[in-house]
Homo-oligomer: A and B are copies of this chain.
């Protein structure tokens, strides 16, 4: 339970700066990415992602994203200790940013990427709308 509702201290009214103030760190969008791929994730699921986020950082980012209403946190149907995180519409709408970032890396760091990843990006570049739609409906 969060008590202190920290007032947002935005650096400017630029919409880019605003976005960076909210989720412009090394981890937030990776959490969103996992939720785009898998739709539902638990704390442990996120911990197992290959970037190896620490539990302190993950805990912090999850509550920030929840405060921002980018994700929701709900109870597991049978296991009281486990929580299920999902994207809201606000979170889903971060997909284009993520896709464009992936697309850029595809162009300039192609050799670092897995074949599976390349195929997703290629599909996105060919038909962005369709790939984004897939994320939203899966």
Give chain A's interface residues, CB within 8 Å of chain B: 10-21, 24-26, 29-30, 33, 50-52, 90, 93-94, 96-98, 100-109, 112-114, 117, 121
Say yes or no: A96 contacts B103, CB within 8 Å: yes
Cα-based distance from A31 to B90 in the complex (angstroms)? 26
Cα-based distance from A116 to B11 in the complex (angstroms)? 18
Say yes or no: A101 contacts B50, CB within 8 Å: no
Cα-based distance from A114 to B17 in the complex (angstroms)? 13
A33 (CB) vs chain B CBs: closest residue: B16
Interchain nearest-CB distance for A114 vs B (Å): 6
Given the known inter-chain contacts A96-B103, A107-B93, A112-B13, please indicate yes or no for A24 contacting B26, CB distance below 8 A.
yes
Cα-based distance from A39 to B64 in the complex (angstroms)? 35
Say yes or no: A16 contacts B114, CB within 8 Å: no
Residues of B within 8 A of A29 (CB): 16, 20, 24
Interchain nearest-CB distance for A78 vs B (Å): 31
- Interface residue from B10, B16, B90, B105 paired with A18 (Cβ < 8 Å): B105
Given contacts A16-B98, A16-B105, 8 further A-B contacts (CB under 8 A): A13-B117, A15-B112, A16-B29, A16-B102, A18-B112, A93-B107, A94-B104, A97-B104
